[in-house]
Structure 1
């Protein structure tokens, strides 16, 4: 009986030792453990947290990725070393073949360390605009934004992190709430817009009256944080001419982004009304 128990105990110990020294088993166990931990932590965040859920889940995902990389590297360190030595002659070819992945990882390290933006910020990368949805070691995910209309397009952009190294990054987060909205109305030169320019100013101030106090405070916050003077919050109207001699009226309105297009349409309607009225008076 004792011999049987000893044999079973010895067998169990041998199996356990074999499993613990089997690097494939250790790697699978590590990944399963980390992914299960991530699953339960995500559930906990969704249940307990009321704000910044997406930010915390994204940070958790990045931490899990780094932890898995470190763990797998430690488990297979000896094999990696032997493998690296055995392919020393092909190092240049491997670097060239994996250049994009290396640049992506370097880009991930760059945005993690410098933090030029956060989850939820509006940014511009090259010619692409969008709200930062998530980041990982390979890519940046943006919810595309039509910067002219200040609204989501419904498209999702996946930008490789390597592009973050070679392209300029502009943080447009202030545009999420208020924007310096510019638009131009072009007409022929038969009517002098200076005749009704004061009326246009009255209309512009009228459309901006209900949020003027908030706009002033927000304008001051932006100037304080950026340490620069920016236009606004008062509306500005300028008259110019195009290359072919047409009259151009340029408007600059500091307003909430969700009302920019509505205000533009209202001012355009008023301009057309004044313009055609003046033209009828000139014809009589």
Structure 2
């Protein structure tokens, strides 16, 4: 019996601060309501102009609401401070626990806002390179192209890239020019090789491979330049010369093609060039067999 009474008294002592806060809040609300009634009665009895009376009524009501809010903040300040600290701690823990997910959402916003690529484009992010087949708020799926950065064959593997990479890493879009792209590959030679002949033959083969769609590619690039306000380069096949190191000549072949035909046209040009010609100083210039040395039969 006495233990139950002691427990009730202890519980009452614990809840007394809360009761004081509730009582103070109730007193404040009653005071504000009484003041509003008194002010409204004074305004209606002393101000005869309807517009001015309505203005004073609205202003007095808003002023009393502000007083009520300030009073509530003063009464519940300590509890509100404790609640705010708890909310901040929960928010910090939530951000730490979901950091990667938040970065993925941010990456999705970044790539969407910048319009970095679309489904079907060939992109490269860090060491990941391939054709985009799916994208959502968390990840982007590509079909891997490789091996390496110079190969254009699919490996049959799919790579799921978290969108958080798009926040901190640059994206290379190899399909930026849409229906037609400018493909580039390099053919190395030694300085003493017949690279001048190789340059002519590579250009002839590139022109022959691109002839069926060259005019269509020109029109497409012109339309793209007009639509995006870009100075689009000429699409005609060309072979440029580079000297990366002493003793070497690199021929850089560039030609227009559809994105799906890059590898096929490159292989056709290389097969046609090196299958019928020899550019080493030890071989002939056209791939024809050199006459054999006369045999002494005596």
Asked if TM exceeds 0.5, the reply is yes
Of 267, 270, 282, 2:269 maps to: 267
Looking at structure 2, the residues matched to 159 and 93 of structure 1 have their Cα atoms a distance apart, in angstroms, of 26
Looking at structure 2, the residues matched to 171 and 237 of structure 1 have their Cα atoms a distance apart, in angstroms, of 23
Corresponding residue of 1:69:
none
Corresponding residue of 2:259:
257
Q: Which has the higher helix share?
A: 1
Describe the SS at the equivalent of 1:277.
coil
Structure 1 runs of 4+ off > 6 angstroms?
none
CA contact (8 A) 1:191 1:278 kept: no
CA contact (8 A) 1:134 1:141 kept: yes
Corresponding residue of 1:20:
none
Looking at structure 2, the residues matched to 172 and 248 of structure 1 have their Cα atoms a distance apart, in angstroms, of 22
Corresponding residue of 2:38:
none
Looking at structure 2, the residues matched to 137 and 173 of structure 1 have their Cα atoms a distance apart, in angstroms, of 22
In the TM superposition, what is the alpha-carbon distance from 1:88 to its structure 2 partner?
A: 4.4
1:34-70 residue CA offsets vs partner (Å, 9 max, x unmatched): xxxxxxxxxxxxxxxxxxxxxxxxxxxxxxxxxxxxx
Describe the SS at the equivalent of 2:182.
strand
Looking at structure 1, the residues matched to 234 and 271 of structure 2 have their Cα atoms a distance apart, in angstroms, of 23
Corresponding residue of 1:154:
156
In the TM superposition, what is the alpha-carbon distance from 1:251 to its structure 2 partner?
A: 1.2
CA contact (8 A) 1:182 1:253 kept: yes
Of 166, 172, 175, 1:173 maps to: 175
Residues 1:189 and 1:157: Cα distance change in structure 2 (over 3 Å): same
Q: Is 1:128 matched up with 2:131? A: no
Residues 1:235 and 1:110: Cα distance change in structure 2 (over 3 Å): closer
Looking at structure 2, the residues matched to 122 and 280 of structure 1 have their Cα atoms a distance apart, in angstroms, of 38
Looking at structure 2, the residues matched to 84 and 105 of structure 1 have their Cα atoms a distance apart, in angstroms, of 26
Looking at structure 2, the residues matched to 113 and 269 of structure 1 have their Cα atoms a distance apart, in angstroms, of 43
Looking at structure 1, the residues matched to 262 and 166 of structure 2 have their Cα atoms a distance apart, in angstroms, of 30
CA contact (8 A) 2:199 2:251 kept: no
Q: Report how many residues are paired.
A: 202
CA contact (8 A) 2:236 2:255 kept: yes
1:166-214 residue CA offsets vs partner (Å, 9 max, x unmatched): 1223443346643322222222233343256444433322222112122
Corresponding residue of 2:43:
none
CA contact (8 A) 1:105 1:138 kept: yes
Residues 1:93 and 1:152: Cα distance change in structure 2 (over 3 Å): same
Unaligned runs of 5+ in 2: 1-82, 292-298
Normalised by the length of structure 2, the TM-score is: 0.55
Q: Rg larger in 1 or in 2? A: 2
Looking at structure 2, the residues matched to 189 and 128 of structure 1 have their Cα atoms a distance apart, in angstroms, of 35
Looking at structure 2, the residues matched to 135 and 162 of structure 1 have their Cα atoms a distance apart, in angstroms, of 13
Unaligned runs of 5+ in 1: 1-82
In the TM superposition, what is the alpha-carbon distance from 1:90 to its structure 2 partner?
A: 4.8
Of 159, 163, 166, 1:164 maps to: 166
1:146-181 residue CA offsets vs partner (Å, 9 max, x unmatched): 463434332222222222211223443346643322
RMSD between aligned residues? 3.4
Describe the SS at the equivalent of 1:153.
strand
Describe the SS at the equivalent of 1:249.
strand
Looking at structure 1, the residues matched to 165 and 223 of structure 2 have their Cα atoms a distance apart, in angstroms, of 31
